[in-house]
Amino acid sequence: MKRYPRIIIDYTKCPTPFDCKKCLVTCPQAIFEVFPVKVEKFKETDKKAPGTYQLSTFFIDKCTACEDCLKVCPTGALSINY
């Protein structure tokens, strides 16, 4: 059975992923996804407010575990399990 890497995101260290976006831009496989936690009518979500956006590993089965994202993360919120 093929084993997939697992990227663990520490959300307390990653409060504003849409503003930082270093991992999203760096990843050669484009596996990350960032989305607003709550979409409200008539309101644009503030990307600088902590907790409004969340990072997830959408295409994690395409991850090669190259650890490029770990190197660019300024707060050390990411860790990888293989």
Partner 1 sequence: MCWMCKAYGEDGKRWFFNPKNHSRQLYTIKRGPKSAYGTDPETLAGLEQRKLTAAKWEDPENFPRLLKEYNERPKEGGCQVVPLQEAIQVAELSYPIAAMMCICRKMFRADEETNPAEYTCTGLGVGMFKWERWPERYRGGVNIMSLEEAKEWLTKMDKKGFVHMIMTFGGSYVGGLCNCDYPDCSQIRTRLDYGLEPALMKGHHFAKVDYDSCNRCGICVQRCQFGAIKFEVTVDRTNIDAFRCFGCGLCETACPRQAIALVDRETVPAMKEEW
Span near partner 1 by CB under 8 A; candidates 7-15, 37-45, 72-80: 37-45
Dihedral angle computed from the Cα positions of residues 74, 23, 25 and 42, in that order, rounded to the nearest 10 degrees: -90
Q: What is the nearest approach in angstroms of partner 1 to the Cβ of residue 80?
A: 14
User: CB of residue 67 vs partner 1: minimum separation in angstroms?
Assistant: 18
Residues 6+ apart with CB under 8 A from 72: 22, 23, 26
β-bridge pairing 32-36 and 53-57? antiparallel
Selected binder of partner 1 within 10, 11, 35, 79 (CB under 8 A): 35
- Span near partner 1 by CB under 8 A; candidates 7-15, 29-37, 67-75: 29-37
